[in-house]
């Protein structure tokens, strides 16, 4: 029994079943035994590989996308370049390198990194070289300058509540301890804040991520105040609202999310329709969602791969081609990952979402 398993079991025995949200939050962020506080999970030596760790091409294109947004904001002398959950800092390093094609862009950028893990913050400080870099634990009301927000695989790692509909009523899904292991259960009383699903039959599971919705609303308010854009890249459905997507990954393989909490990454698919519904409350423009593959192709990833291959060895060329497939192929990350952007006060729509 892991230390965190013992802590969660005792908490359940004393106070009753935990919500999926509270279980997930403790498993990921417990000060001593949480998944993100005890290790570095990113990269081939970790439990999973994110797109920036696959290839430099990903971060470079995000940097060029940000440069284009800055230009469509009128090339302000100062703006906020924000990344939510920067991981090892790889994406920002690559983005700033490509952004350096226009020195005024780098000079104008004030980089803000939203990070709660001290271990990851130390890695970011060692990796990112820029005269104006600031760290925060939450997305704050930075200032009145235009803002560009990048969120790559950020929302999927935030704790969710799960609700199950039975006979037209919603009950919160919980996690109990029975016969030596964690099991799913349902709350005794219906969740009064949720209404029955419209025109649906049978049992349905609804997932709600309050911290994700809160962070997204903060980003929308920043754009409303000062203009800019938010780019969200994450895995999930562009249409589905219902469904159980609570899952665990360890050593690049799926695991039972109720086994050995703190030792596996717990995630849930991002419900893009929920984010779009929130965005519609603000005077912003909504772009997408589109697939990651199509987004990167529209930004020119194939051209970038060809340029990199020109001066590469045969082995490097094969690696570049493999990375390109992984990022864009329908059988890998290309379709599962979606891209959504919201913008305000741009002179033209952002790149990556048109024909």
Task: Give the pLDDT confidence of 299-343 residue by residue, as tens digits.
Answer: 999 999 999 999 999 999 999 999 999 999 999 999 999 999 999
Domain ranges of the chain: 3-292
Mean pLDDT of the chain: 92
* Angle subtended at Cα 316 by Cα 311 and Cα 317, rounded to the nearest 5 degrees: 75
Contact, 228 vs 78, CB < 8 A?
no
**pLDDT given for residue 192 in this prediction:** 80
For residue 37, what pLDDT band results from cuts at 50, 70 and 90? Answer: confident
In the numeric block, the tokens 């984010």 are attached to: 275
User: 129, exposed or middle or buried, with CB in 10 Å at 0-12, 13-18, 19+?
Assistant: exposed
Q: What is the pTM of this model?
A: 0.93
Angle between helices 56-72 and 90-99 (to 10 degrees): 50
> Could you tell me if residue 107 is left (phi over 0), alpha (psi between -120 and 50 degrees) or otherwise beta?
alpha
Contact, 7 vs 27, CB < 8 A?
no
Token pair listed for 142: 């930075």
pLDDT at 277 over 90: yes
Contact, 182 vs 7, CB < 8 A?
no
Residues in the chain: 355
**CA–CA separation, 150 and 350 (whole Å):** 13
**pLDDT given for residue 198 in this prediction:** 55
**pLDDT given for residue 132 in this prediction:** 93
Q: What is the percent of the chain where pLDDT is above 70?
A: 94
**CA–CA separation, 234 and 347 (whole Å):** 26
Q: List 171's β-bridge partners, or say none.
A: 164
How confident is the model over 49-102, as pLDDT tens digits?
A: 899 999 999 999 999 999 999 999 999 999 999 999 999 999 999 999 999 999
Contact, 341 vs 229, CB < 8 A?
yes
Task: State the alpha helices, DSSP H only, in the chain.
Answer: 3-15, 20-29, 35-38, 51-54, 56-72, 90-99, 103-108, 118-127, 210-226, 272-279, 292-299, 301-310, 314-328, 333-336
How confident is the model over 148-206, as pLDDT tens digits?
A: 999 999 999 999 999 998 877 899 999 999 989 999 999 999 888 776 555 455 558 99
Of 336, 224, 317, 338, the C-alpha closest to 274 is 338
Q: What is the CATH number of domain 3-292?
A: 3.40.50.12710
Number of H helices, E strands in the chain: 14, 16
């Amino acid at each position: 029994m892991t230390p965190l398993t013992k802590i969660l079991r005792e908490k359940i025995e004393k106070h009753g079943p935990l919500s999926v949200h509270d279980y997930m939050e403790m498993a990921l962020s417990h000060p001593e035994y949480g998944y993100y506080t005890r290790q570095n999970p990113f990269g081939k030596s970790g439990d999973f590989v994110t797109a920036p760790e696959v290839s430099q091409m990903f971060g470079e294109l995000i940097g060029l996308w940000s440069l284009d947004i800055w230009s469509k904001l009128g090339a302000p002398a100062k703006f906020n370049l924000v990344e939510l959950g920067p991981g090892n800092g790889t994406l920002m390093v690559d983005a700033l390198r490509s952004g350096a094609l226009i020195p005024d862009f780098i000079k104008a950028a004030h980089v803000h990194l939203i990070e709660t893990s001290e271990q990851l913050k130390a890695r970011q400080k060692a990796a990112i070289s820029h005269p104006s870099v600031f760290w925060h634990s939450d997305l704050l009301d930075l200032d009145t300058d235009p803002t560009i927000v990048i969120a790559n695989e950020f929302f999927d790692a935030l704790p969710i509540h799960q609700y199950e509909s039975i006979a037209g009523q919603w009950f919160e899904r919980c996690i109990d301890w029975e016969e030596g292991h964690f099991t799913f259960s349902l709350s005794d009383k219906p969740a009064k804040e949720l209404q029955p699903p419209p025109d649906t039959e049978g049992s349905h599971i609804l997932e709600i991520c309050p911290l994700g919705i809160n962070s997204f609303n903060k980003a929308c308010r920043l754009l409303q105040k000062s203009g800019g854009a938010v780019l969200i890249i994450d895995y999930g459905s562009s249409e589905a609202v219902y469904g159980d997507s609570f899952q665990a990954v360890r050593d690049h393989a799926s695991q039972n999310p109720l086994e050995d909490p703190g030792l596996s990454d717990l995630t849930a698919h991002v419900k893009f329709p929920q984010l779009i519904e929130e965005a519609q409350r603000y005077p912003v423009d909504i772009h997408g969602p589109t697939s990651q593959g199509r987004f990167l192709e529209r930004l020119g990833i194939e051209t970038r791969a060809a340029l990199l291959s020109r001066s590469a060895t045969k082995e490097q060329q094969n690696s570049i081609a493999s990375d390109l497939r992984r990022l864009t192929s329908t059988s890998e990350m290309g379709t599962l990952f979606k891209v959504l952007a919201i913008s305000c006060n741009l002179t033209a729509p952002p790149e990556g979402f048109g024909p």
